[in-house]
Amino acid sequence: MIEPVLPPALVMVLGASLIPAVRGKWRTALVLGLPLLTLLLVWLVPEQAGLMLPFLGLELIPSAASAEGRLFATVFALMAAVGGLYALGSKARPLELAAAYIYAGSAIGVTFAGDLVTLFIFWELMAIGSTAVILLADTQKARKAAFRYLLVHLLGGVLLMGGIIAHWLDTGSIAVAVMAPESLGTMLILGGILVNAGAPPLSAWIADAYPEASPSGTVFLSAFTTKTAVFALLVLFPGTELLIWVGLYMVFYGIIYALLENDMRRILAYSIVNQVGFMVCAIGIGTELALNGAAAHAFAHIIYKALLLMSAGSVLMMTARRKCTDLGGLFQSMPQTALYGIIGALAISAFPFTSGFVTKSLETAAAAEQGLLVVWMLLLAASAGVFLHAGIKFPWFVFFQKDSGLRPPEPPAAMRWAMAIFAVACIALGVFPQPLYAILPYQVDYQPYTVGHLVSQLQLLLFSGFAFFVLLGQMRRTLTISLDFDWFYRRFMNALAEEFALRAAHAFERLEARAAGRLRALIDDLYVHHGPQGILARSSPTGSMVLWVALMLGCTLLLYIF
């Protein structure tokens, strides 16, 4: 018998509404306690537990436990707790914290959804929460970015909802189960999920929107939207070959644009696309080893990417600068922040004894195991590219390049504690990967620490580092912004709207002038007849009026008689 349980997501979503209503220690306790209580509920839900609700003739299952869902919900709850600690240190606004926790709770809701309708509801609630997080940065750039972000995610939501309806009409089922993109419904579902994953051609929304949020807002944004998309692909479309090539595109797209970028947070935002590309590619491979790799990589990525963005956010908060060309030499006055940023950079680069080394290698090993030589070689080349743009470029230009003369102090203690927790986690997962391997969806029979793997990875990182410093002159960026497909809706559509508005204004002026001319003609005509000299303005003798009344009375009598 299935035991009904309270959806863990509801604790976060409903509890988030209380954050603006309380103050002081109560708010701190709520911010830190909500995610931990949610984490406890995530692990108290039995494997076969579920809560079934009737809705329009359908059976909704808002709380269905699975190995994949529990894994993702665990890291989402941990991310919310540490992100909340960081936000408290950065003096984030209560409304931003509430929006961030609604966002995090909705992501957990997606991982526990047992049907596609529930998944869609939490999916859209997640879009609302994340848009609010961007808006609450309260800058003009943030408002514009939030509008573009919302448009992209509304498109993804329409595709997902259309796909769910079509799939239900085809099969009569709304269960969250493995499907293949062979019908209109499943293709639309896949398209809607890929929008949230940052897949082509709409990859640019991540680098467009995330860096415009507050320092704490960007940390939250990095964790949930793209990783819920990875979760959805993992449970709905494992083994879909198309995803291999979509993932590889994302991998190299992220590297190229990150290398071109000058804004430190946009570098890390492009890196999100790159890292999600590894996961999408592994899901496309579809073997148990590859799916374990995608899940483990997502878990580790959330932690080390948040650490990197915490480091960047601390720099932004203490210097009010975000361009690499304006920074440098900060290790002298911010050594702890620099250390945490370096640990995050080593983890994302899959340096031995960090979390990236023991998770990303599962994906490359899966490609080799399946004999996908081209895919394996491209993933190795991409690993070198990751070390170039995130492993070296970010810490070098922010903390170690030519001294900018800035001497900001370290960020507040709560922010440093948050970075320390995730830095320890990056190293602990790298040194002791077995606890993570134990909660992956499938049994793990893989040993990351072999001589061959260690030597090959160190060689890869060594030559990548050598290439960076040889090409250091070309790595320096200017004050530019990189656009790709988003040129169409940031420049072309904007220019089109301005041209339309201009032409519409001219047309309205002509229409207004024509209407004014006709109104003047009507007034002139009325003046002719009703003016002082007009025929209808003349006074008539009393006798004439009596005559007309008599004639009208006579006509009335004749009509009445006949």
Q: Give me Rg for the CA atoms of the chain.
A: 31
> Residue 103: its pLDDT value, please?
95
Taking Cα atoms as reference points, which of 154, 327, 304, 117 lies closest to residue 219?
304
Residue with tokens 């920074």: 327
Averaged pLDDT for residues 161-185 = 92
- Res. 84: pLDDT tops 50: yes
Q: What is the mean pLDDT of residues 38-42?
A: 92
pLDDT at 260: 84
pLDDT value for 516: 85
Give the pLDDT score at 1.
42
Rounded to two decimals, the pTM is 0.86
Helix (H) or strand (E) holding 231: helix 215-236
Q: How far apart, in whole angstroms, are the C-alpha atoms of residue 210 and residue 205?
A: 8
Q: Is the pLDDT of residue 2 over 50?
A: no
When pLDDT is cut at 50, 70 and 90, the band that residue 530 belongs to is: low
Mean pLDDT of 295-300: 95
Structure tokens belonging to residue 431: 């040194």
Q: What percent of the chain has pLDDT over 70?
A: 91
Q: According to the model, what pLDDT value does residue 98 have? A: 94
For the ranges 95-109, 391-405, 462-476, 515-529, the one whose mean pLDDT is highest:
95-109
CB atoms within 10 A of CB 191: 18
d(CA 374, CA 487): 31
At residue 538, the pLDDT reads 62
Nearest in space to 85 (alpha carbons), one of 447, 415, 538 = 415
Q: What is the DSSP string of 410-464?
A: PPPHHHHHHHHHHHHHHHHHHH--HHHHHTSSS-----S--HHHHHHHHHHHHHH
User: Rounded mean pLDDT of 288-314?
Assistant: 95
Strand locations in 231-375 (E): none
More confident residue, 217 or 508: 217
Of 343, 231, 236, residue with least CA distance to 298 = 231
Percent of the chain at pLDDT exceeding 90: 55
Res. 515 pLDDT band, cuts 50 70 90 = confident
118, 60 in Cβ contact below 8 A? yes
At residue 436's C-alpha, the angle toward residues 417 and 419, to 5°, is 15
Identity of the amino acid at 524: D
Q: Is the dihedral of CA 486, 488, 492, 497 positive or negative?
A: negative
Instruction: Quick: pLDDT tens for 330-340.
Output: 989 999 999 99
